[in-house]
Amino acid sequence: MNGEAILSVAGALGFDAPLLARYGPLLLQGLKTTLELVAISVPTGFLLALVLAYARLEGGPAARGPAAAFMGFFRGTPALCQLFLIYYGAGQFHAALQSAGLWWLFRDAFWCAALAFTLNTAAYQAEIIRGAVANLPAGQREAADALGYGTPGAWRRVLLPQALLVALRPLGNELILMIKTSSVASVVTVVDVMGATKRAFSGSLDFEVYLWAALVYLALVEIVRRVWNALERRMTRHLRTA
Amino acid sequence: MTELLAPLAFGPSGWGDELIAGAWLTLRLALATLPIGLAIGLGVALMRHGDSRILRPLGELYGAVFRGLPELLTIFIVYFGAPRLATHLLAFAEAALGLPPSGTQVQIDGFMAGVLALALVLGAFSSEVFLGAIRSVPESQREAADALGMSRAQAFRLVILPQVMRLAFPGLANNWMTLLKDTSLVSVIALPELMRQANLAALATRQPFLFYLAACLLYLAMSVASERLRLRIEPAASPRGAEPAR
Amino acid sequence: MSIANVLARLVFAAAALAALASGAAAKEWKTIRIGSEGAYPPFNLIDSNRQLQGFEIDLAKAICAEEKVSCEFVAQDWEGLIPALLAGKYDAIFASMSITDERRKVIAFTDKYYTSPSLFVTARENASLQPTPEAMSGKTIGAQTGTVSARYLQEVYAPAGAEVKLYVTQDEANLDLASGRLDAILGDKFVMLNWLEKSADGGCCQVVGPDFSDPKYFGDGIGAGLRKGDADLKALLDNGLKAVRASGEYDRINAKYFPFSIY
């Protein structure tokens, strides 16, 4: 379908076609940024979450305490607060960060948001994985011990594969929550879907742009939900009785 | 150290009292939202549980929309859209009824808009929890109430609902924790809750790290206190605590 | 699709009805509720007693006194000023809002009550920077969202290769210029000068280049924003403004904030 056809369809549905022609591209650009934010923070957060969950369940006191504190902080405080703390907090220490060679990362609003969301989702994913591993039948670990795997080996070969299957559904929910949470990046100048919408609104002063943003997020969440459900069905088909 | 923390002092020179006032408004927002959101959630769960061809899809749609929208967007839409929509609907209703137009502008202040938006979101998420709980009350309970000669409404109120509340408690406690954190988003509509006050203090004193950290720690304190309270109430409210172990 | 469609149509139809309805009933103005941002010193700011203060707050009070009406002030975030006006949260905006054609499509304005150009501010190390679109290519420039400066940057500097960052408040942009996240800010001349001279971190930075005031982008001065239906309120405020201009009250308020005329 070409652009004009899309616009005429949108016009027929009651949308303001000239407005869509003017701000549609900006909104698409914003969608790309939203997807990038989520695509960076959720997988990176997952890797960090594995480390956190392992430290929480298997680590000595020196590892368990910090892991629990990290998870408690990032799960117990709003993502907006975390983002402000990282973005404007880093700005306050720009001289020190500059001399440490880290300012390139903190200078950019996008990377500050990606960092904040990675730490945030890591804490939630770690709690999901921790719960899934802890709830496995004790026999699984005993069997792994009997095979002489050692703790890391038991996690890799026995515990994690089963726990992650159980965790698929909550991890999918966390992915969807992250898509929604990413909209707070707009408060620190990132032009994601929400940021693009605010720009379109301040340019046009037409409330309709907020309804477009609502449709974009709802469509995005619905697509991810369906894809994830299909994925989950595929990965757990051996567990179902015919 | 004391010099570093001086901006957090109470009184006219420091922002400590403003932060505490903000935290109190945050709590009030969450507490005002809770009953409204739970009422919506229970209502929507009943719509989705029933077999009405109209109510059921409506309930599903409501749940999908308000679970899918970013809370930030819901707050914007409610704050800017709701008064206009209400005003227009009122004018529309007056015209339809043949009344002279009153020109009344429906007013929704920041607190009301915040409560309304958060309650719509809480309603959607808690309807999931309620629905799960309603579905896990065994059918035999209803049949037993029926056998005792109770009406449908009586059976629901006296037999089903108490069990639903117990089953739903852990999920609702999670909803509360999320609600507490979501209140921070209301700062974007200039309501002077904790996040907003931290914002103003950070800009005025040029100490963003200190004030955002202080705000985060206050949220954390509220979360931890809620968790403690939950652990205290839960044994009494949870199904395992209420029924003797078998 | 269909929900937004129905909603949009419903709002539109009802808006037309409501416009008809409100046009019919002319009301007498005894109290005027005025919305302002409170984060734009010296024009509007919130003092330590949480009261709105500043040049245009004083001016609004003088106009209200002249017209023998009472004034109430409401603080509202910049981005929400026009939506809240349209939603009826207050009746007039005194918040250094430029009179532009874009805004005229949605709201009405009083006559202008001051004029102010925009200018570029950079860090002292970048003082040699020439703020032409070509020289600013590849630079990061900040402005407050929804302002004439923001629009100018988006339409002239972004196409030439600059990265434009928009902030909810002017002060957040200033904070990022001071910390080196921004290479430059385009902002209201008097607001930027006020920051450079009077704030703790303003010493980082300085003005570069000329004033910008092309009416195509920067509008026809600063006026108070009103709902389009309130023609009687516009007449009242215009009248009051003329009177305070004639009586010398305007000049007195002007002199309290600026050593030169900003009209």
B119 vs B236, more confident = B119
DSSP C114: B
Q: Flag residues of chain C having pLDDT under 50.
A: 1-2, 12, 16-25
Res C19: pLDDT = 47
Q: Has residue B185 got a pLDDT over 90?
A: yes
Which tops the pLDDT comparison, B25 or A8?
A: B25
Q: How far is B4 from chain C, CA to nearest CA, in Å?
A: 17
Chain A stretch 151-190, residues whose beta carbon is closer than 8 A to a beta carbon of chain C? 187, 189
Buried b (16+ CB within 10 A) or exposed e, C218-257: bbebbbbbbbebbeebbebbbebbeebeeeebbeebbeeb
Residues of A in contact with B217 (CB under 8 A): 77
Query: Within chain A, which residues score under 70 in pLDDT?
Result: 1-14, 241-242
Answer yes or no: do A80 and B195 touch at CB < 8 A.
yes
Query: Which residue ranges form the domains of chain B, and what is each CATH number?
Result: 2-242 (1.10.3720.10)
A156-192 tens-digit pLDDT: 999 999 999 999 999 999 999 999 999 999 999 999 9
| Amino acid making up residue A180 | K
Is residue B179 scored above 60 in pLDDT? yes
Residues 6+ apart with CB under 8 A from C241: C63, C110, C111, C113, C250
C87 CA to chain B: closest CA distance, Å?
Answer: 5
- Chain C residues with CB under 8 Å of B101 CB are 20-22, 24-25
pLDDT over 90 percentage in chain B: 66
pLDDT band at B235 (very low <50, low <70, confident <90, very high): low
**Eight-state DSSP code of residue C258:** -
Domain count, chain A: 1
ipTM: 0.91
pLDDT at residue C134, as a whole number = 96
| Substitution target from B19, B60, B65, B72 for chain A, most A beta carbons within 10 A | B72
Give residue B246's pLDDT band: very low, low, confident or very high (50, 70, 90): very low
- The closest CB to that of C8, out of A98, A189, A211, belongs to A211
| pLDDT value for B244 | 43
Domains and CATH numbers, chain C: 29-115+221-257 (3.40.190.10), 118-217 (3.40.190.10)
Q: How many CB atoms lie within 10 A of CB A101?
A: 8
Q: How many A-B residue pairs are in contact by the CB < 8 A criterion?
A: 106
What pLDDT shows up at residue C21? 46
- Mean pLDDT for B209-232 is 96
Round to whole Å and give the CA distance between C2 and B65.
13
Contacts of A208 in chain C (CB under 8 A): 8
A94: CATH:
1.10.3720.10
Which among C13, C77, C172 has CB closest to B203? C172
* Helix or strand holding residue C186 (H, E): strand C184-188
Note down the domain range covering A99.
3-239
Start-to-end Cα distance in chain C: 49
pLDDT at C20: 47
Q: Give the whole-angstrom CA distance, residue A129 versus residue A118.
A: 16
* Distance from C-alpha of C161 to C-alpha of A2, rounded to nearest angstrom: 28
